[in-house]
Amino acid sequence: MSAFSLDPAQTAWCAELRTLAAERLRPLAEKGEPGRINRPLVAALGELGLLKRLFGDTSALDLCLLRESLAYACTEAETALALQGLGTYPLVQAGTGAQRERWLPDIVAGRAVAAFALSEPDAGSDAAALALEAVGSGADGWRLTGEKCWISNAPEADFFTVFARTGEAPGARGITAFLVPADRPGLTGSALEMLSPHPIGALTFDGVPVTREDVLGEPGRGFRVAMNTLNLFRPSVGAFAVGMAQAALDSTLAHTSGRFAFGGPLKDLQAVSHRAAEMATRTEAARLLVYAAACAYDSGAVDVPQRSAMAKLFATETAQYVVDAAVQLHGARALQRGHLLEHLYREVRAPRIYEGASEVQRSIIAKELYAGTSAEEDAR
């Protein structure tokens, strides 16, 4: 951990989280089935108070520290916690009292599982191009018709935060957020087999009934609910990546110190030690960029979208580099099923796409940069 931005209490909390993840959560993760929700693991997150911490007065920086520390020791626990947060935060920020009373106690206790249903077969990176249709039905209801795809925790979640087009206006302005329980008639789903071992699936909506009591926020304002959620979680996706990068780096340092070849330990080879130095430098740079973005969010800075995009972009790309370099320095043993790096290699690819691909993050950054330039020119 960096001493630059963390106080002793934060450093101690991170160490405690790593220990919890290794000793209490990893054994449960190892018993889970890849691609399926691990409900005992989710329940343990509730019993340990981590979900309560997630939905309490947690700052964006705390969220990053939580995700980084869990990812270091147990990526499955980190993912289970993050997906609960992603699916539930729209309810926290925009839900009614009745909605929160119905779902939050079970979510915090780890008894219920949430899902964030934004992406569609033809609307992944371009979230404003959603086609899931909400057609008016009666005085205060709609019927949802269409598909969602690549939805984490689908189809096994207990409720879905669903974003659909209600037609108040074109583009982002015509989208409404709904809280849809999994047992609604007309809602079906199927699991998808992915490279990473996360629970991900597709959903089909065949006239699924929803009412105004299911709306999160206001009709036609759902895109803002989605973006507020992503702006909070994007830096912490970077934190997830940093945790994986640090685990790969530490494994590499241990391996190259103890593995002998060509007359001495691998670390004495300049090509190896310089690669390790590069891995460490990039990991620390990513960590500090993530912390800076989280602190900007917590302080209400105006440049949060740009900082969040930078943190997510750089940290996920860095983690890919570090894990790949670690595999190379370990050699064939890192390719064996069950090795830490084999696991991380499958895990690390997805964050460069999830919650806005790297190309989307670059577009966000560029837009913010040139918006600033235009404002300066207008002021002259």
pLDDT at 375: 57
Same domain, 131 and 259: no
368 is catalytic: no
CA distance 334 to 314: 24
Whether residues 256 and 188 fall in one domain: no
pLDDT above 50 (res 3):
no
Among the candidates 174, 198, 220, a domain finishes at 220
Does 256 share its domain with 210? no
1 lies in a domain?
Answer: no
Q: Indicate if the pLDDT at residue 177 is higher than 60.
A: yes
- Assess whether 231 and 357 both reside in one domain: yes
Domain assignment present for 378 = no
Which listed residue (278, 355, 359, 376) is catalytic? 355
- Domain-embedded: residue 377: no
1 pLDDT band (50/70/90 cuts)? very low
pLDDT tens string 61-86: 999 999 999 999 999 999 999 999 99
Task: Tell whether 239 and 353 lie within a shared domain.
Answer: yes
Residue pLDDT, tens place only, 208-247:
999 999 999 999 999 999 988 988 888 899 999 999 999 9
Domain-terminating residue out of 78, 109, 140: 109
Q: Do 228 and 367 fall within a single domain?
A: yes
CATH number at residue 240: 1.20.140.10
The answer on 20 and 40 residing in a single domain is yes
Domain boundary among 184, 205, 220: 220
pLDDT tens for residues 74-130? 999 999 999 999 999 999 999 999 999 999 999 999 999 999 999 998 876 676 788
Q: Is the pLDDT of residue 378 over 80?
A: no
Q: What range defines the domain where residue 336 resides?
A: 224-372
Are 88 and 153 found together in one domain? Answer: no
345 domain-assigned = yes
Q: What is the pLDDT of residue 325?
A: 98
Lowest-confidence range among 76-80, 102-106, 265-269, 310-314?
265-269
380 in a domain, yes or no? no
**pLDDT above 70 as % of the chain:** 96
Mean pLDDT of 337-346: 95
Residues 303 and 327 in one domain: yes
Same domain, 298 and 366: yes
Write the CATH number for 89.
Answer: 1.10.540.10
On the question of pLDDT at 2 being above 50, the answer is no
Mean pLDDT of the residues in the chain: 92
Indicate whether 25 pLDDT > 80.
Answer: yes
pLDDT of amino acid 376: 60
Q: In terms of Cα–Cα distance, which of 94, 155, 147 is closest to 122?
A: 147
Same domain, 163 and 238: no
pLDDT band at 195 (very low <50, low <70, confident <90, very high): confident
pLDDT of residue 162: 97
| pLDDT for 137 | 83
313 with 260, same domain? yes
Structural domain count, the chain:
3
Is the pLDDT at 170 greater than 90? The verdict is no
